[in-house]
Amino acid sequence: MSGAPHSALAPYGPNVWDVPLPKPVEEMKVFQGILPDFETGSKRMECRPAHIIYAKVAYQRGWIISGGAIFRDEDSTEMVGSHIIFRALNLQHAKEMLAQDVYATGGAWDLSKAELRPVAIAPLASEGDAADFTSYLDSAKK
């Protein structure tokens, strides 16, 4: 995907995530967002189809690492917010990106209650890990 952002899915506007990363992935900072919905009047379900399309583009572009819904409790399927791990240039840029996301512009997220923190992604898997794991298991058996 290159060039201009995708056409807007009315009435939510263009996909802020549909642009190339401004720096190589390893030079970007990583943030975790906890984004609660408005307690009353959230428009999550109305803007969800656009959000899903936009989020897939963001993932393909390298902006979003992981994300999904937050549920009311472990037995519920009622969505009450979102969580996201994503890349940005800095904290201000991260806030700006989230403020332009379709769930923010469409009336789902209550950004006044959002939590946003810088995080690191642990390098849990890389080339040669299988051999290291086998060695670990062999030494644990002794």
Q: What is the pLDDT along the chain (142 residues), one digit of tens a residue?
A: 344 455 555 567 788 999 999 999 999 999 999 999 999 999 999 999 999 999 999 999 999 999 999 999 999 999 999 999 999 999 999 999 999 999 999 999 999 999 999 999 987 766 666 667 677 777 777 6
34 is a domain residue:
yes
Q: How many domains does the chain have?
A: 1
Distance CA(23)–CA(44), nearest Å, equals: 31
14 is a domain residue:
no
Helix (H) or strand (E) holding 35: strand 29-36
115 is a domain residue:
yes
132 is a domain residue:
no
Q: Cβ(83)–Cβ(23) under 8 Å? A: no
142 is a domain residue:
no
Distance CA(132)–CA(129), nearest Å, equals: 5
CATH number at residue 93: 3.30.70.1060
- Largest Cα–Cα separation, the chain: 64
pTM: 0.81
53 is a domain residue:
yes
